[in-house]
Amino acid sequence: MDSQRNRGIVAVGMVVAAFLLISGPTLFLACQPPVSDEAIVSVQGRVLEVDGTPMANVTVRLVKTDLDVLDADWVVGHIANTDKKPFREAETDENGEFYIEFEGADANSGNQLWAAYFVAYVLHPDDPDSHLAVASDSFQFSNQSLARTIPDLQFWDIPLGGVVVDDAFVTVSFDASPEAPANGRYILHVEGTEWTAEVAGTSYQLPLTALEPCINPVADDQAVCEPKTEHRLQIISLAEGIRYRSAWHSFTGENPRGLGLWYRNPEDNTSGRTCSGKVLFDLNDGKFSGTNSVQVLDQGMTAEEFRCIIIDLQQDVQLEEVFLHNAAVWFHKDARIKFLISAAAEPTEADWTEVSQVNGADNVYPMFNVHLDAIDTPARHIRIEFVDIGDKPFWQRIGEISVYATPLLAN
């Protein structure tokens, strides 16, 4: 089980870091030995427009990481997303081609024990700070591979009219990326939120009620909510060995429920608990941000114990919608995630009623979202837990829990 769990953690880190900027690297044991100092290394390639024609006079940036032990996918996401300091840059010629050359000593990691990872990507000509609107590739050099020719860095975008907002959903439609992933793995991310979802096919519907509701919410006063109407989203394609990212796309939409969310008691920073210990989280601060991800207070708690979360809503309510945003889950086909509610002030096992269940699969879910519609039974507590056969599943992270509900006033 330890080896399976470790593989699951690595896989979660690889994908989640690329889009949510987690703070730690994943292990990658097949590091290349250092390159000879006197060697000359080079990287070359070509930049193409969306239609496949060469793109001249755009900047290709090469970024080097000095972190010691990394996974290639983690490098692509973490470095290309956050580090805007160039190691080397070059402009494309009239054929869209570029060439970068430097000494072998500069191809090694900071401690000189092995070759460093590099990421090549193109700065967007209209918005250099939004450089993810194109493909990127990661690679190492070695004494046996001093020259790298990387795949075409072709721009990829959502077509005009590809984002449609109606009374209930944001519907996104897009064309396959230039080098489409074999299993159709596309990722949608809504900026400023915890909503990151894997897309099957080339279209996706996001409920309006999953959008960030307020510009500057006041968590202790639900009446204070300046509606947020401008949002941005992006699609990422996980193609073989290369990552395509569409430009950020702005759209207008408003969460119809506003700041109708439940928060922790301001005087109680332990608003939830696992079935064996306490956890710290805001149900939602109105910002749908990763700053409120569930954190385990008891650092001695094992991942296996972090399998069941109970939320005290602090009063009886009629549940309208419940969102579990962007959890990271180590899952398997015999596992089930059950959602249960109870109206009891101090519920026993007999007081819980199951309202929904999600079946497992042989996979790790680094971007796991659940949306529960209206539930008729009154609730004071919500319980989210794994029920399984065989190997134990567990949560890696729960990005955000938001609850829309109407209080049931006492007679």
Whole-number percent of the chain with pLDDT over 70: 70
> Are the C-beta atoms of 240 and 179 separated by less than 8 Å?
yes
Using CA atoms, how far apart are residues 372 and 384, in angstroms rounded to an integer?
12
The CATH number that domain 2-154 falls under is: 2.60.40.10
Architecture of domain 163-252: Sandwich (2.60)
Q: Which of 92-101, 249-258, 266-275, 360-369 has the highest mean pLDDT?
A: 92-101
Each residue of 327-357: pLDDT tens digit? 777 767 777 889 999 999 999 999 999 999 8
- Looking at per-residue confidence, does 242 or 160 come out higher? 160
What is the overall mean pLDDT for the chain? Answer: 76
Using CA atoms, how far apart are residues 1 and 246, in angstroms rounded to an integer?
38
CATH topology of domain 272-407: Jelly Rolls (2.60.120)
pLDDT in the model for residue 90:
95
DSSP-derived 3-state class of residue 90: strand
Helices (H) and strands (E) in the chain, counts: 2, 25
* CB within 8 Å of 26: residues ≥ 6 apart: 9, 10, 13, 14, 17, 70, 71, 74
**Mean pLDDT, rounded, for 9-22:** 29
Neighbours of 296 (CB within 10 A): 17
Q: What is the 3-state secondary structure (H, E, C) of 229-286?
A: CEEEEEEEEEECCEEEECCCEEEECCCCCCCCECCCCCCCCCCEEECCCEEECCCCCC
Whether residue 272 is predicted with pLDDT greater than 80 in this model: the reply is no
- Looking at per-residue confidence, does 138 or 391 come out higher? 138
Each residue of 41-92: pLDDT tens digit? 999 999 999 899 999 999 998 888 755 444 444 444 444 444 556 789 999 9
Whether residue 8 is predicted with pLDDT greater than 50 in this model: the reply is no
pLDDT in the model for residue 132:
53
Q: Do domains 2-154 and 163-252 have the same CATH topology?
A: yes
- Looking at per-residue confidence, does 99 or 154 come out higher? 99
Whether residue 26 is predicted with pLDDT greater than 90 in this model: the reply is no
Whether residue 2 is predicted with pLDDT greater than 50 in this model: the reply is no
pLDDT in the model for residue 266:
52
- What is the DSSP pairing of strand 242-245 with strand 230-239? antiparallel
Whether residue 242 is predicted with pLDDT greater than 80 in this model: the reply is no
Using CA atoms, how far apart are residues 76 and 172, in angstroms rounded to an integer?
25
pLDDT in the model for residue 44:
96
The structural domains of the chain, with segments of one domain joined by +, span 2-154, 163-252, 272-407
pLDDT in the model for residue 341:
96
**Mean pLDDT, rounded, for 25-50:** 79
Tokens of 242: 């290369």
In this prediction the pTM is 0.73
- Given pLDDT bands bounded at 50, 70 and 90, which one contains residue 23? very low
Rg (CA), the chain: 23
Whether residue 148 is predicted with pLDDT greater than 50 in this model: the reply is yes
* CB within 8 Å of 370: residues ≥ 6 apart: 322, 323, 324, 327, 337, 339, 356, 358
* CB within 8 Å of 309: residues ≥ 6 apart: 272, 273, 274, 279, 294, 383, 384, 385, 395, 398
Least reliable range by pLDDT among 63-72, 205-214, 257-266: 63-72
pLDDT in the model for residue 281:
64
**Mean pLDDT, rounded, for 302-311:** 74
**Mean pLDDT, rounded, for 5-30:** 32
Whole-number percent of the chain with pLDDT over 90: 27
Whether residue 322 is predicted with pLDDT greater than 50 in this model: the reply is yes
DSSP-derived 3-state class of residue 109: coil
Q: Which of 57-71, 101-115, 166-180, 203-217 has the highest mean pLDDT?
A: 166-180
Neighbours of 182 (CB within 10 A): 8
Q: How far apart are the first and last CA of the chain?
A: 52
> Are the C-beta atoms of 54 and 46 separated by less than 8 Å?
yes
